[in-house]
Structure 1
């Protein structure tokens, strides 16, 4: 019995007095008045609700964090694709590859997102604009945007959906070219 009291005292140092009492009640010999499982459940019901709420809050926090990380990953992949397409000095023997066809509109889109200037010619550093544009591109929104060249000689009215298709197409071209180069290198060995 003394061992039990010592163990219960140790339990009381790490856990609530209420838990210590419940464990003592469960381990003690039956007394004249019997206690039932129903009484135990009633005593613990409030704590079960606290544990459930705590668990639910932890799940929500983890889900929110995971959602933010997933979004970051999507945007990084999109930025990587745009970075490999824009300003590519030469591809498939064409030094103007990134300046022709639909890849030119992607260059203008890059300027629209990252290289805007205010009326005084100062860079506009609006992270909200950048994230919004990238999210719309990733989603393939039907929203239209007006793209213009730096010299204002070329203008395009396109949707984010069209730009998304252009990114996929241009990146696919790069992947195909990379496969051709690997095959040619493998033949040389």
Structure 2
């Protein structure tokens, strides 16, 4: 089925562009029905036509809850199948998450459950890890705490700093997100009671997907 995707983004939108490229190439059966941002100057907004853009500043609302409610109303109006967080740098409130149960995806730059939150690359280096990576997970009320659908791993190399490791992880983030969306569109990967099923069977551990990186 053609997935209707609402994209949340705060920055440059490189994951959004990877999704748009896959749709244009005919390798992902999906449609981006809106791009939503808390940053009106976000580059991600300019990757889609103006009618698909929604951007508001949180400070223009009475509080965070009011912003989240307006965002949720705007998203609901475009009737997405999935909400895809692609570099969205705000934590979604519980009321927002409850409005779209088990329909919000995020990509996080670590091998969850390791290193929830920020500064994941430096934390992996500081811990002496020999591998790092990215995870696509369902969003729930706990920060980076939803069921992990798939992961891709990269090595931590001698001499890596946070910047070089982040660049290597980004090389697998893009194809990882697209592949998860492709499996959702094909019906191979579904959600049931907040947990993933792959080909009709429970996916007790995240899918491990490998992609080229330098």
Scaled by the length of structure 2, what TM-score is found?
A: 0.22
Scaled by the length of structure 1, what TM-score is found?
A: 0.24
Higher helix proportion (structure 1 or 2): 1
More contact order relative to length (CA 8 Å, sep ≥ 6):
2
Q: Which has the larger radius of gyration?
A: 1
